[in-house]
Homo-oligomer: A and B are copies of this chain.
Amino acid sequence: MFLKAKFLQLEADRPIAILNKEDAAELGVKPIDRVELTFGKKKIDAIVNIAARIVQEGEIGLYMEIQETFDIKPNEKMRVRPVSTPESLVYIKKKLAGKTLKPAEIYKIVEDTVKHKLSEIELTAFVTALYNRGMTMTETASLSDAMTKTGRSLKLRTKEIYDKHSIGGCPGDKTSILVVPIVAAAGLTIPKTSSRAITSPAGTADRFECIAPVALSLDEIRTVVNKTNACLVWGGAVDLAPADDIYIKIEYPLSIDPFLLPSVMSKKKAVNAKYVVIDVPTGRETKIQTKEEFETLAKEFIQLGKKLNIKVNCISTYANQPIGHCVGPTLEAKEALSTLVNGKGPADLVDKATILAGTLLEFSGKKNGQKLAHEILRSKKAYKKMQEIIEAQGGNPDIKPKDLYPGKKVAEFKSRNSGKILWMSNKAVDIISREAGTPKDKGAGIFFKKKIGDTVKKGETLFELYAEKTNKFNRAIELAHKLDVVKIGKGMGMMLEKLPEKREEHEYFILER
């Protein structure tokens, strides 16, 4: 069948062609079926959408991506014929039916994912099938491998590559900004790629962007790492395991994360990491809430590492309150930089960073890793290394904490009674910070004056809320009054929760990379 091209002002992640319902019936195709489009010497397979009004009989509606693929003008005729759906769909249906997939089948699905050959319905079926049916360790390894191989990879001179990852869920976690320069200052190579926030107030890429550029090309990253042993860049700019970003778009609205293991490990493999320490924040409101859950996950990470030739250590870290005092990109960057400049900082932040860095140092054969890490921080060797990294990434190496300003709108939240801080709610911190504007408004966030165990007097400031924009500021203030961010008690208060709750529920799901 030959149909006249109608140009639609529309963009999509995948090639979509819109047929009139009469032509679709004539071709015998239904929505999500595929048609092959031919014009001149070019051919592509497009996903069928069907419309009754915007595309007339005899026309084919083309999204911008297809208009640009073909050198075609509006009203020129192109050949349209039904073709079978991608082979990978057979394997998705197989997984949906509860069967185990072979490595080549998984590869095909991931390949067709990154080539944008699959529709949203098909991708959702794959993601939910993995979630509902689970994966064998061999499937998980195949998936990690496929996600790495369908993207680019960072090739460095050395094979001894170290890396660090946090599965997320604890606000204020600026640990990477300390770990990277400590490890690099000890002579190890740590090409750290980070993500931007998905559901949290800030990702490491959002934080470090306040200090230096993070959207580097793969070539630029190689140059930076060859010069300084390290980098702190945004992984999303360089197509390392790009399938993950496509799956996240399905996982996010469904609040499920079956890709956690392959997502983390495929990105580590893409930078050819040989030794990886994985931080698993463990606490009441994080992904991993118990010792048992941690141990199960850690075992899986370690096993998966063996299959991928990566030596993995997992560390369960205390996550019942934010790390350090600050939450929000600028505030966190300021706190991390200040800790490097001074060689000291909040005890929890320093302890966590030196434990993680120390583990990597011990991988390299050094003794007393944490002590050594601490010494590198204290002696400001880590700060010097950070200056090198900032300069290599195109930033100003002399940037100081005072150069980092949070939002100009500030509200102080004071204690209504005296006592001890018994607990803090990460969930409330996340929700309020996002209402205040993070991660988009880098200056938004929260500064905590008190944390768990601190004594507080009535009228003393508990925390300061920062924002850049009036409307967000006001909404965040309102929310901060409603939610229990901080719980204060005389002595030890024992009640954690009471059901049924009367407060309104706020959606909360942690999906971080």
Contacts and interface: CB of A to CB of B under 8 A. Distances in A.
Contacts of A132: 96, 98, 128-129, 132-133
Contact of A84 (B30, B52, B507): B507
Contacts of A120: 120-121, 124
A220 interface: no
Interface string A470-513: 00000000000000000000000000000000000001000000
A32 interface: yes
Interface stretch (A35-43, A143-151, A247-255, A417-425): A247-255
A507 B34 CA distance: 13
A444 to B, nearest CB: 11
A93 B98 CA distance: 19
A127 to B, nearest CB: 9
A119 B253 CA distance: 10
* Residue in A30, A31, A64, A121 with the greatest tally of chain B CB atoms within 10 Å: A121
A405 interface: no
Contacts of A32: 249, 252-253
A49 to B, nearest CB: 9
A51 interface: yes
B254 A131 contact: no
Contacts of A93: 254-256
A53 interface: yes
A9 B8 contact: yes
Given A31-B249, A124-B124, A132-B128, A96 B256 contact: yes
Contacts of A52: 11
B96 A128 contact: yes
Contacts of A92: 254
A254 B125 contact: yes
A19 to B, nearest CB: 13
A351 interface: no
Residue with the highest number of chain B CB atoms closer than 10 Å, among A32, A64, A93, A132: A132
A192 interface: no
A58 to B, nearest CB: 16
Contacts of A31: 249, 252-253
A137 interface: no
A33 interface: yes
A440 B9 contact: no
Contacts of A98: 132
A143 B33 CA distance: 28
Nearest to A249: B31
Contacts of A133: 132
A44 interface: no
Contact of A507 (B85, B254, B507): B85
A165 interface: no
A337 to B, nearest CB: 24
A122 B251 CA distance: 10
A10 interface: yes
Given A54-B9, A96-B128, A96-B256, A440 B28 contact: yes
A399 interface: no
Interface string A41-65: 0000000000111100000000010
A11 B122 CA distance: 21
A256 B96 CA distance: 9
A26 interface: yes
A334 to B, nearest CB: 22
A25 B329 CA distance: 15
Nearest to A22: B440
Nearest to A1: B471
Interface string A2-23: 0000001111000000000000
A201 B94 CA distance: 26
Given A8-B9, A10-B54, A11-B53, A254 B121 contact: yes
20 contacts: A8-B9, A8-B10, A10-B10, A10-B54, A11-B53, A28-B440, A30-B253, A31-B252, A32-B252, A32-B253, A33-B253, A85-B253, A85-B507, A89-B253, A92-B254, A93-B254, A96-B131, A98-B132, A121-B124, A132-B132
Given A96-B254, A121-B254, 4 more contacts: A98-B132, A119-B253, A124-B125, A128-B128
